[in-house]
Structure 1
Amino acid sequence: MLESLGQAQNETELEGWLVSASHLPGPRANLGLAERFASGLEAIQLDDEWWNRLLQWMKLNAEDAGDNEPRVFLPFCAIQALGACYAASDALRKAEIFAQIRGAMNDPRWRMREGAAMAMQRIGEKDFNTLRSYIAEHLEQANMLERRAFIAALAHPPLLTEDARIVFALDISDRIMEDIHADRASGTKEDFRVLSKGLEYAISVFAERLPQDGFALLAKFAATEDKRLHKIIKSNLGKARIAKKYPEEISRIAGMIT
């Protein structure tokens, strides 16, 4: 794929090629192309020219390229490529990559927030300890949008290959739910909606792989009177990935919610 990009005569032509293939405007961007682009850069040496180009694309903000405008595909591709190239980068670039990811977590465009989670998944696939350390270090001070990115990044089946990883994901979920219950989470009403949407599916991903721990978490918050948490729990209980496998647990926990 990079060979095709390499045929572009200049940066403008390269950008035009990606933008024209973005499938935007539309409901779904060309995710396959973005993935191949990131994998292609991961496979080669990320020289200064490519590095600077990716950072330049990351500067395209919501005013330059709105959520459904074709040019948003450039920073969407760039953030995933930065995540893919993290493992082979030096310390300075690694720090910059996480700075770019954090910026994307807080982007007003949902596509960029998704890109941030995908970038962290790329990092975690290479070295889960790096992802775990970053989330653990930043969770306490993270805002709602950042916490949503953490949850979305962890709810990635290729990462959930060991019980210890799933326990970590459930622990992060538990701490976020506790903070919601205690009104300790910081953010706007819209930020909470975004965080809630992430929690509404992610916990079921974890519970499918570690049912006893996952259902214990859901039951813990079902026992509260917090309607915000009940909405999150009900959504997870309705996910086919666990609803079909564990009907008795689903019924038991659903019965706890009044």
Structure 2
Amino acid sequence: MKENPAILTALQQQIDDREQWALLTDYMLHESGLPGPRANLTLAGSFAGLFARPEVTETAWELISAWSHLPESEAKTGDPQEYLPFCAVWACGAHYAHADSIRRSQAEERLQAAMNDGRWRLREAAAMGLQSLGEYDFALLRELLDGWRSGATLLEQRAFVAALAHPPLLKAEANVLYCLELAAGIMDGIRSSDSGPAEREHFRVLSKGLEYSLSVFAASLPQPGFAMLRKYAASGDPRLIKIVKSNLGKTRLTKNYPDEVAGLLQLLTTC
């Protein structure tokens, strides 16, 4: 869903006029849905969409740069103020494909910072921003992720799989094969690592992301998808087995591929 065109026109005018930023901020906070269990994603997505074009003024870019830098001390989880950096980070991803090299560099910095943020909504905004980029140009998203993959933090890896587990990105077989390859690299990294206590929470977040995203990839391309799940079901690593089991419980697999799921569950009982 999108906001009423008249509202979007008004938002665009306020974004481009520094004197109206206070009015814009008041509106976004009032309509944020926070505090509450669910932020206003319709408004946030429409706001980000206003930046999905080349003609973004310097004034507009300064606005989302300022919002995206709001620290947790000023925009705590669940507070309406959190909605401002949430929208701004998503907008950074939406603008990326249309931006010049300077703005791309700035957007990358904000997206990576959000991936590692302590606020879960900011981490989600980073993933949504990458999805907006991928829907416009998957090849560019792939290029960006490939540049980040080496040395990526656990939270960054979670953002990668969360962004890619997005059905509009998985219509092309080549895209799904890329997602499976990236996910396998992350799973192999888990297998060869031993996260210390300081990273335990970050690993939990990554694991939660993998516990559903692999099923999205497998449902899109079953043969290689189930082959990957089978590989890690037989790994003997309890962390990877937990991830596989969670994916095998997803309706998208149990409903459409019951025989494959049953076979893997049988494998898990014999390993």
TM-score scaled by length of structure 2: 0.91
Which of 213, 216, 230 does residue 205 from structure 1 map onto?
216
Which residue of structure 1 aligns with residue 4 of structure 2? none
Which residue of structure 1 aligns with residue 163 of structure 2? 153
Q: Given that residues 143 and 185 in structure 1 are in contact (C-alpha distance below 8 angstroms), is that contact kept between their aligned partners in structure 2?
A: no
Task: State percent identity of aligned pairs.
Answer: 45
Which residue of structure 2 aligns with residue 42 of structure 1? 52
TM-score scaled by length of structure 1: 0.95
Which residue of structure 2 aligns with residue 127 of structure 1? 137
Which of 21, 42, 50 does residue 11 from structure 1 map onto?
21
Which residue of structure 2 aligns with residue 178 of structure 1? 188
Provide the rounded CA distance (Å) in 2 between the counterparts of 1:91 and 1:185. 36
1:253 maps onto 2:264 in alignment: yes
Which residue of structure 2 aligns with residue 2 of structure 1? 8
Provide the rounded CA distance (Å) in 1 between the counterparts of 2:51 and 2:100. 16
Q: Given that residues 54 and 95 in structure 2 are in contact (C-alpha distance below 8 angstroms), is that contact kept between their aligned partners in structure 1?
A: no
Q: Given that residues 144 and 185 in structure 1 are in contact (C-alpha distance below 8 angstroms), is that contact kept between their aligned partners in structure 2?
A: no
Residue 185 of structure 1: how far off its partner (Å): 6.5
1:20 maps onto 2:26 in alignment: no
Give the letter for the 2:37 counterpart: P
Provide the rounded CA distance (Å) in 2 between the counterparts of 1:80 and 1:127. 16
Provide the rounded CA distance (Å) in 2 between the counterparts of 1:70 and 1:181. 40
Which of 40, 43, 46 does residue 33 from structure 1 map onto?
43
Provide the rounded CA distance (Å) in 1 between the counterparts of 2:53 and 2:100. 16
Provide the rounded CA distance (Å) in 2 between the counterparts of 1:184 and 1:146. 17
Residue 180 of structure 1: how far off its partner (Å): 0.6
Provide the rounded CA distance (Å) in 2 between the counterparts of 1:25 and 1:237. 34
Would the alpha carbon gap of residues 62 and 4 (structure 1) be closer, same or farther in structure 2, given more than 3 Å must change? same
CA RMSD of aligned residues (A): 1.6
Provide the rounded CA distance (Å) in 2 between the counterparts of 1:241 and 1:128. 24
Deviations 1:160-179 (A, max 9, x none): 12111101100111111111
Which runs of 5 or more structure 1 residues have no equivalent in the other structure?
A: none
Q: Which runs of at least 4 in structure 1 moved beyond 4 Å after TM superposition? A: 184-187
Which of 68, 72, 92 does residue 58 from structure 1 map onto?
68
Residue 184 of structure 1: how far off its partner (Å): 6.2
Which residue of structure 2 aligns with residue 242 of structure 1? 253
* Aligned residue-pair number: 258
Provide the rounded CA distance (Å) in 1 between the counterparts of 2:255 and 2:122. 33
Q: Given that residues 52 and 91 in structure 2 are in contact (C-alpha distance below 8 angstroms), is that contact kept between their aligned partners in structure 1?
A: yes
Q: Given that residues 53 and 98 in structure 2 are in contact (C-alpha distance below 8 angstroms), is that contact kept between their aligned partners in structure 1?
A: no
Taking the TM superposition and a 5 Å limit, the aligned residue runs for 1:135-146 are: 135-146=145-156
Q: Given that residues 93 and 130 in structure 2 are in contact (C-alpha distance below 8 angstroms), is that contact kept between their aligned partners in structure 1?
A: yes
Provide the rounded CA distance (Å) in 2 between the counterparts of 1:88 and 1:183. 38
